[in-house]
Amino acid sequence: MSNKTDFVAAIDIGTTKIVAIVGKKKENGKIEILGMSTTPSKGVKRGIVLNIEEAVNSIQKTVEDVKFTIGEEITDVFVGIAGQHIKSIKNRGYINRDSYDEVITKQDIDKLIQDMYKIPIDIGEEIIHVLPQNFIVDSETGVKNPVGMYGKRVEANFHIVVGQIASARNISKCINKAGLQLNQLVLEPLASSDAVLTDDEKEAGVALVDIGGGTTDIAVYYDDIIRHTAVIPVGGDVITNDIKEGCSILLRQAELLKTQYGSALGDLAKDEEVVSIPGIAGREPKEISCKSLAYIIQSRMEEILDLVIYQIENSGYFEKLSAGIVITGGGALLKHLPALVKFKTGMDVRIGYPTENLSTENMKDVNHPMYATSVGLILKGYDYIEKSGTYKKPELKKKVEEVTKEEVKEVFEFDEDKPAETRDPKDPKGSLMSNIKRVFTDIFDESGADM
């Protein structure tokens, strides 16, 4: 990567697909997608890596495709995390400042956030995100950003996302084994929210429901503040499985039936419509009624929606969501799904496309609900860079290149006038090997790389 702001790379590790995506932020703030590749996901189920080798192979394949497309090396990536193990907790923290004479600084807020990473959580878990909701400055409530205000005591309410250490480590290991460095793990519903929700929706109150293959992710916003996040361990795959069992057909045939002829409302399917499925190994083809298919889909989708409604009610904001529900993810395009969601919840419903944040150049390829998380990871990547100001990029490769240009002469030509303290005591003449050893020791010392 020639410049840290040239582009951001992200990987969405899903149950059905792995997406590698590279985007660049334009002057107008829109994201131009430079390259994207999708490969079938192997070794991952419901957001959890179950087979590291298979997952690494899938990641490597899709990353190589993107590298070929953009003609650039990718060194570091932002990666989404989901799974049943994800949970959210609320906490409150405060700091007492020394003086009223100085304004509250970003450093004060950073200290407050860092303190939240030290709160006690269950064994085997770690904190993934600490998200400030609102602040209280000297009993003044409802402060959204206290930086620049005067005050002695600063309090804040936090939304804290917690996940299993093992699951996070397995994702990290897959990324490292694929030859990449992990910049940050991002909770997938937060990434999807950035991609498809508008500021007005977040202020009015909205629930994002991202229906993936293995999980359904939920994020609830109200008054422009994240109020609740959850990951439900069921998605479109269970519907496909039900069709496979119910119609006695192959899994790939069930997936095609679902996407091409499926409907989320059995009553709206036509009685006379029938689909013919080729028989296995020369057997007679099967005829499947579209109405029967729709009722199979509807019954399972209603179960998923019951779990979604439970989570939204759990947030305490079910009655306050003026903007209703936004559904996204690959499962969002199921025919008549918005009508079913509206029927079940009584709320306004729309399908979320990442249109808002994409530049027009490649809108057609990427503007699909299934890529909401991927586009959101690019946006979160730029947020991370702007807040931290730097990439955690490995510097070793760069340093070796610098040395070969600047110090190669020093390695191969011994200078009689060189100060004695720079020479190896066992080799006072400064031979070729001691010079090579010294230079490469310097490289590893500076880069902090592991030998």
Residue 228's nearest CA partner among 313, 105, 322, 115 is 313
User: What does the pLDDT average to over 433-450?
Assistant: 44
The per-residue pLDDT for 101 is: 83
What percentage of the chain carries pLDDT values higher than 90?
66
Q: Which two tokens stand for residue 348?
A: 């306004």
pLDDT surpasses 50 at 394: no
pLDDT surpasses 90 at 327: yes
> What letter would DSSP give residue 354?
G
Helix axes 188-196, 372-388, angle to 10 degrees: 100
Topology (CATH level 3) of domain 87-163: Dna Ligase; domain 1 (3.30.1490)
Amino acid letter, 65: D
Least confident range of 148-157, 343-352, 382-391: 382-391
Which residues, 6 or more positions from 255, have their beta carbon under 8 angstroms from its beta carbon? 240
Residue 201 · residue 324 · CB < 8 Å: no
> What letter would DSSP give residue 266?
G
Residue 190's nearest CA partner among 326, 387, 380 is 380
Q: Which two tokens stand for residue 368?
A: 């699909």
The per-residue pLDDT for 5 is: 45
The per-residue pLDDT for 100 is: 80
- DSSP for 360-377 reads GGGHHHH-SGGGHHHHHH
Could you tell me the sign of the dihedral formed by the alpha carbons of 243, 249, 251, 252, in that order?
negative
Could you tell me the sign of the dihedral formed by the alpha carbons of 392, 128, 43, 213, in that order?
negative
Residue 70's nearest CA partner among 110, 20, 26 is 20
pTM of this structure: 0.82
Domain boundaries, the chain: 87-163, 396-447
User: What does the pLDDT average to over 67-72?
Assistant: 89
pLDDT surpasses 80 at 402: no
Q: Give the strand pairing for 87-96 and 153-164.
A: antiparallel
The per-residue pLDDT for 404 is: 45
